[in-house]
Amino acid sequence: MSEIKKRLSSILESPNHHTDDKLQKVCHLLDQEIPYFNWTGFYFKNGDKNELKLGPYVGAETDHTIIPFGKGICGQVAVSGETFVVPDVKAQDNYLSCSIETKAEIVVPIIKDGEIVGQIDIDSHSIDPFTSDDREMLEWLCEEIAKIL
């Protein structure tokens, strides 16, 4: 995992790229390097509204460009501020389906100055693929992203 972290750090530290470009590169890297990351994207708080707005992502198009706080896994993380790992989306009552192929999801909040400003959302076509290393790496990544926002 440390090799991926090094590559993610170099993307985030690049002085020549806009933040959205960096986040798009992060999505591409994770998508290419981790075979069971089948949709990787960012959502950010939409101004003063209690909703999330889709940011850079890699994967199939989604209708969920705006997600109200509390709706679905992303909306729940926007309220709780806690990482949410869903081993099997069929077992979740409050799940917003992006794709019939999605079997599992992990959402990690991005917190800056004590406020939830966004999150990374990853869907997988496999049941229960996410490891504790994945979670640790994504939580580290979100802390690093908060520093450049």
Q: What is the pLDDT of residue 39?
A: 96
Report the Cα–Cα distance between both ends of the chain, in Å, rounded: 24
* 28-74 tens-digit pLDDT: 999 999 999 999 999 999 999 999 999 999 999 999 999 999 999 99
| In the predicted structure, residue 1 carries a pLDDT above the cut 70 | no
Q: What is the pLDDT of residue 73?
A: 94
Q: What is the pLDDT of residue 98?
A: 67
| In the predicted structure, residue 26 carries a pLDDT above the cut 90 | yes
Task: Find where tokens 């992006």 sit.
Answer: 98
Residue 144, token pair as written in the block:
């690093």
**AA identity, residue 57:** Y
Residues in the chain: 149
Q: How many CB atoms lie within 10 A of CB 111?
A: 15
The better pLDDT of the pair 127, 98 is held by 127
Task: Find where tokens 């002085």 sit.
Answer: 15
* Topology of the domain covering 2-148: Beta-Lactamase (3.30.450)
What would the mean pLDDT of 20-28 be, rounded to a whole number?
98
Domain boundaries, given as residue ranges, for the chain: 2-148
Nearest to 5 by CA among 26, 36, 28, 31: 26
Q: How many CB atoms lie within 10 A of CB 145?
A: 23
Q: What is the pLDDT of residue 92?
A: 82
Residue 77, token pair as written in the block:
């993380």
* Whether 76 contacts 86, CB under 8 Å: no
* Whether 92 contacts 103, CB under 8 Å: no
Q: What is the pLDDT of residue 76?
A: 96
Nearest to 84 by CA among 123, 32, 54, 38: 123
* 76-112 tens-digit pLDDT: 999 999 999 999 998 887 776 667 899 999 999 999 9
